[in-house]
Structure 1
Amino acid sequence: MTADNGLDALVFDNVWSRFPEDFFTRVTPSVWAETRLLDLSPTAALRLGLDPEAIDRDRLTALMSGATMLPGMDPLAQKYTGHQFGTYNPALGDGRGLLLGEALTPQGPCDLHLKGAGQTPYSRFGDGRAVLRSSIREYLAGEAMAGLRIPTTLALAVAVNGEKVMRERVEPGATLLRVAESHVRFGHFEWLYQQKRSDDIEHLMHHVIERHRPQLATQPAPLEALYQDVVTRTAELIARWQAYGFVHAVMNTDNMSILGLTLDYGPYAFMDRFDPQLTPNHTDASGRYAFDQQPGVALWNLTVLAQCLTPLIDPERLREILDSYEPTLQAAYAILMRARLGLEVEREEDGALIDDWLEMLGRAQADFHRSFRALSESDVAGGLVLAEEIADPQLDAWLTRYRARLEHESRGETERLAAMRRVNPLYVLRTHLAQQVIEAAQAGDAEPLRTFRDLLASPFEARPGMAAWAEAPAASAPPVCLSCSS
C-alpha cells in the first residue's frame, strides 16, 4: 500500500441519500469533547482498502468526536421497524448512530457508521449516546467473529470521550466507527410492507442486488434469487454461531442483516461451560433468544421477511425457498462440527458422535472451547489432556468410538491435529476477559484492548506469554448476564 493510503483515499457514493426522503433523516453528529482514540483495527482498515499505518490518528479522532467529516460524507439516520421479542414496533430507526457515508473500496461498497453520534428523530426516549463498555464489546466482537471466519460487521476504531452517560450506572461515553458492507435490515422491508409500499420494496430489493449481489441480476427471477440468497446466508451464519458457541441474545428482526452479517452486538456471549439454554441477556426472562433457540428464531425472522415480500413474490415460491433453510443449516453445521472433530470424510455415524460429544460436555459442565482445543492437542489413544477438561464417566466410551471413527480417515494424526488447531480457537472473546479490558480502558490503559484485539484477530495460533488470554473463568463463577445496553 502507498504511504498516502489513509482516510483521504476514501471515495464516497452515498446511494442511501438518494432514496425517498422518508427513508432517512439528515442529522449532524453531536460533538463530544475530550475524545481520545483507544485503538484502530488493522482488520477493518484493510477491509476499507486503507493502510493502517497511513491513517492520521488525529483526524480519525476528530471524526469520531463528531467535530469533522471526511469529504463526500453525508450523515443520516436510517428509518426501519421490526419485531422486538416477537412484538412489532413501528417506532424504530437509527437512534444513536449515523450512516456517515458509503465508501467505494477495492472489495466493494462499505458503510461507515458512527455509533454514539447523538440523538436522532428515532431515538425515542434514548440519549443517542454510547458507553465505553458496550463500544469495546462491539469492537472486540467484530475482531473475534472475523477471526473465526463468521460474517460480521467490523469497527475501524473505538474512542472514549468526556461525556458521563447514565445506564444502570454512570459510565464514560464513547463512539465506535462501524464498518459494514451494508446496514440494510429485515426491518427496512417490514417498515415498507406495513405501509403497503410494494414499489419501494421492489426498489430496495433491486438496490441490494445491484449494489451487493450483482450476480443475481442475471437470474431468471432476481427477486426470488435474492430471497434465496438471504435464506442461504442466514442459515450458514446461524450454523457458524452454533458451531462456535456464540449467543447473539437480541435476535430481533431489526437486528438481522439482509446480507447475512452478524449485526448489532449487545449482551452477546461466547459460552464458557457448555449450556444449550444459555441466555446472557437478563431482560430475556423467557429465554426466547437462548443459544438452542437461535436456529428457530432465525427461521421465524425469515418467515416475517417472506411475508413482507408477498406483494412481489408468489407465497408458494417463498415457502419453497424457506423450506431450504433447515437442510442448509444442518449441512453447514455438520461440515463445521466434523472439521472441529478432525473428521474429513463424511460418515453416517458422525451426527450421533457429535451430539454425544456435546451432551457429554453439558453433563460435565465442561468448557466448550477448551474441550475442543484439548481434543486438537491430545493423543486420543491416551486422552489425558481431555480428562483434565471433561470429568465425565462416559469419556472413555466416547473416545473408544472416536478412535474407531478415525480409522476411516486417510490423514495421519499429525496432519489431522494441525488441521483441527486451525479451526479450534485458543483465544476466545470470553465475557470475563472483555470485562478486564473494559476496566483497564476505564482506568486509562488501552494496552490490554490492543493486545486482546490482536489475539482475537488470529485466534488459532498460540503466542508466547499470552496464556492468560486463553483462560476460562473460574469454575465457581456464575454465567454473566448483561443488559440490552451492553
Structure 2
Amino acid sequence: MKLNELKLTNPYLELPEECYDRVTPTPLIRPHLIHANKDVAKVLDIDESELESEAFVTFLNGKHAEEGSDTFAMCYAGHQFGHYVPRLGDGRAINIGTIDKYHLQLKGAGITEYSRHGDGRAVLRSSIREYLMSEAMQGLSIPSTLCLGIIGSDHNVRRETIEKAAVVCRVSTSWVRFGTFEYYAHEGMFKELEALADYAIDENFPHIKGKDNRYTLLFNDVMIITARLIAQWMSVGFNHGVMNTDNMSIAGLTIDYGPYAFLDDFRHDNICNHTDQHGRYSFENQPQVAKWNLRALMMALSPLSTVEKMEKNLAMFDKIYMRYYHYYMCKKLGLPGTVEGDPELIDDMLDMLEMLQVDYTLFFRTLSHYEGDRAALLRTGLYHEPMNAWLDRYDARIKTIDTAVRKEQMLGANPKYVLKNYMLQEAIDAAEKGDFSVVDDLFKIAQNPFDEHPEFERWAGATPNEFKNKKLSCSS
C-alpha cells in the first residue's frame, strides 16, 4: 500500500472527550530520514518502496494528510517515584491514527495540552535509544511497542545544551497505561473509567468481553501478563529505570524507553537512572515495583470491581512471577524444567556472578557452549574458586541431559548481543556527526541477537571498564 492510500481510524476518539485532547503536529525544520523499519512497515501493509520516499519523511514529520487521520494526545495521571501526579498525558507524543489494530504515534511532534513547561520535542539521542531498543526487545521476543521509522532534523532544542530534535513513529497495540485508569478514578469520573475499561477489553482482552465479572478478569489478566513481562526483563538483565504507573502498559508491553540499561557486570542493586537516588527502580526491585503498580491499578479499578476479589488475584503475583522467572532462567541454563534445588542453583549463580563481577550476557552465552572445559567461563570472572564450586553443582544437574539438546536450547535462549548503553552511545555520537552507519549496524544486531554476526564481534565481549554501570537521565 502506498502512503497516499493509507486509511486511518481513530477508535480511541470514541471515548469521552475527557480522555484526550485534539492537537496538530508541529513539523521539524529540514527533516531527514535516519532509519526505516521494513518489518513494521510490512505489518502495517506499507510498501517497502515507500520507505525511501520523501513522502515517508513527510509522514513521520506529521505533515502527510492521511485519510481518516484525526490527531490527538492522550490524557493520563500516574505515580512517579511513588508520588501521585494527577495530570500527565502525552506531553510530546501525538497519535495520528490506527491501522488495523496498530496505533501510530509521533513522539517528538510538538507541544500538546500535556506538555506542561516542555517544548514537546524529543532529542536525537533519546530517539535513537528508543528506536533501537524497541527492535531489540522484539528480537528477544519480549513484548514491546514498535517503531516504524525515525527522522532527524536541523531543528534546535535546548536541554543541558543545544541539541537536534528528532521524531520516532511509535507503533503499539495499546497506549493505555495504568495511569490512564488512575486519572479517571481519582477524578471521580466513573463513567469515563468504565468506558476506558471496556475499550481496553475490546482492544486487548476480547475473550472477557461481555462477562459479568469482566473488570475483575481484566485486572487478573493484566496482573499475569505483567508478571510474565517482568520475568522476561529479569531473565535478560534488562533494567527499565523508571517504572512509574504512567509507564506501565495495560497490555503487558515494554513502553517508554528512557534511562534503561542492560546489565554490564551483574549487580542485584543496579540503578540505571541517576534521578533514582534511593534505588526504587533498581534491577532487583522491578518485580515488587510491578506489584506496587498493580495495587495502584487495582485501586483505580475499585469503582468497577470489588477490591476483595482483586486482592485475591494480586496475592498470587509473587508465585506467578517466580514460576515465569524460573521457567525463563531454566531455559537459559539448558534445563528441561524446574526441579527441587533449581531455584537455589539460580540464586547462588547470581550471587556468584556479582561476587566475581561477571558480565551477565557474556556469561550465559559462554555457558551455552559449555561441554566440560571451564577455561572460557573462568576467564569471565575475577576468581576461579567460586565459579568452580558452582559449576560442580551445575555439572551434577546436567549430567543426564543430552548435551546437544541442552546447547541448542541455550543458544536460543541466551543472546550473543544485547544493546548495552556504550554501544548505543557510539551510535549516538556518530549520528550527531551525520553518520548513521552505527545505527544501521545495531539495528541488524537488534533484529537477530542470537546470531553470531562475526563482523560485530567487538560488541560480543564484556563491557569495557570505562563504560560500565553508567547512570542516565530520564531525558536519555
Q: Do the structures match in fold with TM over 0.5?
A: yes
Q: Is the 8 A contact 2:174 2:203 kept in 1?
A: no
- Partners of 2:49 and 2:324 in 1: how far apart? 37
Aligned to 2:40: 44
Where do residues 289-328 of structure 1 align in structure 2 (5 Å cutoff)? 289-328=281-320
Where do residues 294-443 of structure 1 align in structure 2 (5 Å cutoff)? 294-379=286-371, 381-392=372-383, 393-409=385-401, 412-443=402-433
2:30 corresponds to which of 30, 34, 44: 34
Q: Which amino acid aligns with 2:413?
A: V
Offset of residue 34 of structure 1: 0.9
Task: Show CA shifts across 1:140-187 (max 9, x none).
Answer: 110111111111001111110111111122211100000010100111
Task: Show CA shifts across 1:213-254 (max 9, x none).
Answer: 211126452221111110000000000111111111111111
**Secondary structure at 2:155's aligned position in 1?**
strand
Relative to structure 1, the CA distance from residue 69 to residue 470 in structure 2 (aligned partners, 3 Å threshold; closer, same or farther) is farther
1:276 corresponds to which of 268, 274, 277: 268
Q: Which amino acid aligns with 1:443?
A: K
- Partners of 2:48 and 2:146 in 1: how far apart? 14
The answer to whether structure 1 residue 168 and structure 2 residue 160 are counterparts is yes
Task: Show CA shifts across 1:87-140 (max 9, x none).
Answer: 111131111110111211xxxx11100000111111111011110000000001
Q: Which amino acid aligns with 2:455?
A: G
- Partners of 1:14 and 1:25 in 2: how far apart? 13
- Number of matched residues? 475
1:17 corresponds to which of 13, 37, 43: 13
Task: Show CA shifts across 1:326-357 (max 9, x none).
Answer: 11110000000000010013211111111111
- Partners of 2:54 and 2:285 in 1: how far apart? 44
Aligned to 1:86: 82
Offset of residue 264 of structure 1: 0.4
The answer to whether structure 1 residue 479 and structure 2 residue 469 are counterparts is yes
Q: Runs of 5+ in structure 1 lacking a partner?
A: none
**Secondary structure at 1:465's aligned position in 2?**
helix
- Partners of 1:471 and 1:168 in 2: how far apart? 32
Superposition TM-score, scaled by structure 2 size: 0.97
Q: Runs of 5+ in structure 2 lacking a partner?
A: none
The answer to whether structure 1 residue 469 and structure 2 residue 459 are counterparts is yes
Q: Is the 8 A contact 1:33 1:65 kept in 2?
A: no
Q: Is the 8 A contact 1:43 1:143 kept in 2?
A: no
**Secondary structure at 1:12's aligned position in 2?**
coil
Superposition TM-score, scaled by structure 1 size: 0.95
Relative to structure 1, the CA distance from residue 477 to residue 13 in structure 2 (aligned partners, 3 Å threshold; closer, same or farther) is closer
Q: Which amino acid aligns with 2:474?
A: C
Question: Aligned residues: percent identity?
Answer: 40
- Partners of 2:443 and 2:152 in 1: how far apart? 17
Q: Which amino acid aligns with 2:391?
A: L
Offset of residue 476 of structure 1: 4.5
2:132 corresponds to which of 115, 122, 140: 140
Give the alignment's Cα RMSD to 1 decimal. 1.4
Offset of residue 211 of structure 1: 2.2
